């Protein structure tokens, strides 16, 4: 068994990653971090849309669809100023 | 607390607060180990690098969920291992992976390449515990936590993996001697 252990140990990999790994990661991190700063309006619209969808879902799941017209009126009043 | 551990804790805290340079420094401390784990699963250096990249990006976006006291390295390795296994299972039937046995050292001889080829031919459930034990020096407990299998299963899989390697490699050398 000792011989097998030695053979396996000798086959350990060397360096796997290329030199471009960190530069590529840096660029990708910049892209992630800059989205909310570079696109604040899209980001806000996205979150608002998600919130509205969540409220609709909750009303449907709790079988309070009777509140949907009130909720729609509320949204229209917000959008209409 | 050792200096290295203290530095890693500080970097983790800074990365948690959105410091990208701290995150990059943290990445440099363990990126090769993470890449090797991906390689053990996929057997392909280029794919392992892609998955490693994806794992660190995922780690950056989820760093708030890293619980205090859990080492960053172990956490990223778990993320990478899960991504690699997902990739491997989705792709191994669709397109046979191009398994490479050139793992980074140009001086590797034929015996080493043979051993690697046979290691990669082992089923994934035997291969991963074997390599985490042999090459990463993880304890049985750490392998058990990482792979989410009992310690007894880890030990038996390593034992069976070594038995398989022994029978394959002795068979190969007999054939070569003939």
pLDDT for B155-172, tens place per residue?
Answer: 999 999 999 998 888 775
pLDDT for B7-27, tens place per residue?
Answer: 888 888 888 888 899 999 999
A43-73 burial, b for 16+ CB within 10 Å, e for fewer?
A: eeeeeeeeeeeeeeeebeeeeeeeeeeeeee
Pick from B149, B141, B116: which is nearest to B131 by CA? B116
Which of B49, B119, B134 is opposite residue A21, by nearest beta carbon? B49
Whether pLDDT at B135 is above 50: yes
Structure tokens at B15: 């990365």
Half-sphere exposure of B157 (CA within 13 A, CB side): 23
**A31: closest CA of chain B, how far (Å):** 11
B169:A4 CB<8 A:
yes
List of E strands, chain B: none
What is the C-alpha to C-alpha distance for residues B31 and B106, in angstroms, rounded to an integer?
A: 21
- What pLDDT is stored for residue B175 in this prediction? 42
Whether pLDDT at B38 is above 70: yes
Section B108-116 average pLDDT: 81
What is the C-alpha to C-alpha distance for residues A11 and B111, in angstroms, rounded to an integer?
A: 9
Q: Lowest-confidence range among A1-5, A45-49, B90-94?
A: B90-94
pTM confidence score: 0.73
Chain B window 142-161: which residues touch A at a Cβ cutoff of 8 Å? none
- All residues of chain A having their beta carbon less than 8 Å from the beta carbon of residue B27 are 22, 25
């Amino acid at each position: 068994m000792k011989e097998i252990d030695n053979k396996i140990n000798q086959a350990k990999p060397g360096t796997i990653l290329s030199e471009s790994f960190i530069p590529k990661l840096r660029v990708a991190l910049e892209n992630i971090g800059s989205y909310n700063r570079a696109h604040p309006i899209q980001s806000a619209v996205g979150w608002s849309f998600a919130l509205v969808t969540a409220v609709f879902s909750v009303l449907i799941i709790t079988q309070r669809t009777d509140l949907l017209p009130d909720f729609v009126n509320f949204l229209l009043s917000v959008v209409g100023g | 607390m050792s200096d290295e551990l203290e530095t890693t804790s500080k970097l983790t805290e800074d990365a948690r607060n959105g410091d990208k340079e701290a995150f990059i420094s943290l990445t440099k401390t363990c990126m090769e180990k993470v890449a090797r784990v991906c390689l053990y699963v996929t057997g392909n250096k280029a794919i392992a690098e892609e998955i490693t990249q994806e794992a660190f990006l995922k780690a950056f976006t989820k760093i708030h969920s890293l619980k205090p006291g859990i080492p960053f390295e172990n956490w990223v390795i778990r993320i990478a291992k899960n991504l690699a296994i997902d990739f491997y299972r989705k792709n191994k039937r669709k397109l046979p992976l191009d398994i490479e046995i050139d793992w980074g050292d140009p001086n590797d001889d034929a015996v080493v390449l043979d051993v690697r080829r046979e290691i990669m031919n082992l089923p994934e459930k035997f291969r991963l515990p074997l390599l985490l034990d042999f090459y990463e020096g993880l304890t049985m407990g750490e392998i058990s936590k990482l792979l989410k299998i009992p310690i007894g299963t880890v030990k038996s899989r390593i034992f069976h993996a070594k038995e398989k390697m022994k029978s394959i490699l002795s068979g190969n050398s007999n054939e070569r001697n003939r």
